[in-house]
Every structure is written in C-alpha cells, then in structure tokens.
Copies of this chain bind each other. A is one copy, B any other.
C-alpha cells in the first residue's frame, strides 16, 4: 500500500502560488520545494516541470494541453466549418475569460519581473498570444489548402476571429452588465459574417 500523502496537492499548490508571487517566476524549483517543506522530486512527480507548477498554482487554464486546442487546426470534415468555428471560438472565449484576469493580476504584481513570466510561459519559443494566432491561422490555411474556403491571408483571418473574441472577453470582464448579447450570439454573428467573406463562390448550376 502506498504511503499516505502527508501534504495534499491543494496545500502544496497554495505554497507554490505564494512563493511564485513573492519571489517571482524566476524562483528555483529548489526554493519552491524548500518553502513547501517537500523534496523537489515530490514537486516534479506531482505537478510536472516548473511551467506546469506555475500554471497549476496560479490556476491558469492550461488549454494548450487540451485535445480541442491541440487538434484545432485539423477539423474533422464531418463537422461543418460553421459549427466548428463556433465551437472552438466558444472554447477559446471560455479559456480567455479565466486566464485574462489572472494574467493581469500576475503582471501587476510588483515583485514579478515581466520578462521572467514571459520566459516561463513561452512554449516552443512562442508566447501564448502569438501561439493562439498561429494555431487559428493554421486552421484557416488548412481549409484553404483543402479548397473549403477562398484564398486569403490566414494570419489576418486569425487576427479578426481571435481579436473579436478577445475584445468580447474584455468587455465582459470590465463591463459585464453592458453586454446585451451572449458569447454564443456574438460568435454566431461573427462566424456568419466571416463565412460570408471567405465562402467559395457558388458554382453555376
């Protein structure tokens, strides 16, 4: 029988959170472990690498690891493009609604060197906002290659689509009572308009 855990994950994450916010994201895993009263090995085994410790301690949604995001650029052709865009748009809206206020709090913390959090959050050399843009651009590029939509600049389509979602998240964050429409309604409208622009011309019958 496994030895019962003396310190549960929530208590450890609370300690990690305090240390990250007090010392900053450049803190060593050794210091994180010392302050939490456990070994470095325990931290690695329970939470993974330092980026993952940070993401879990700050309760950031780690959507980059989720299946819908990892497979975002490759739509299953059984799902209509319209439905797919609304679905992934709503998932991104939900993830940003959680992460944007946390990121703002972290960056406004005077003990945190912005460069350290950038270094910690970078994945495959890309910072999260550019990574999101590139992932949506890859989706649009694949749709163009498959002949599903008109040829245009995929990155700009991503800027329009992600930008509309990002702005809507901010609107609801600061002025929740003034959004007279739901995120679903917003997404249905922008997807319809975007598809109106990028849909292939109907072939003459």
By a CB distance below 8 angstroms, the chain B residues around A164 are 156, 159-160, 163
**Cβ-closest chain B residue relative to A180:** B130
Selected interface stretch from A5-13, A39-47, A53-61, A171-179: A171-179
Q: Is A114 an interface residue (CB 8 A)?
A: yes
A170 x B160 contact (CB < 8 A): no
Number of copies: 2
Contact A107-B174, Cβ < 8 Å, known A152-B193, A193-B152: yes
Chain A interface residue count, Cβ-Cβ cutoff 8 angstroms? 42
Q: What is the bound-complex CA distance between A157 and B133, given in angstroms?
A: 19
A134-168, CB under 8 A of B: which get 1 and which 0?
A: 00000000000000000011011101111111111
By a CB distance below 8 angstroms, the chain B residues around A166 are 163, 166-167, 170
CB distance from A137 to the nearest CB of B (A): 12
By a CB distance below 8 angstroms, the chain B residues around A114 are 174
Spell out A's residues near B (CB within 8 Å).
103-105, 107-108, 114, 118, 126-127, 129-130, 133, 152-153, 155-157, 159-168, 170-171, 174-175, 177-178, 186, 189-190, 192-194, 196-198
Secondary structure call for the A interface: helix
CB distance from A197 to the nearest CB of B (A): 4
A167 x B162 contact (CB < 8 A): yes
Contact A167-B129, Cβ < 8 Å, known A189-B156, A196-B152: yes
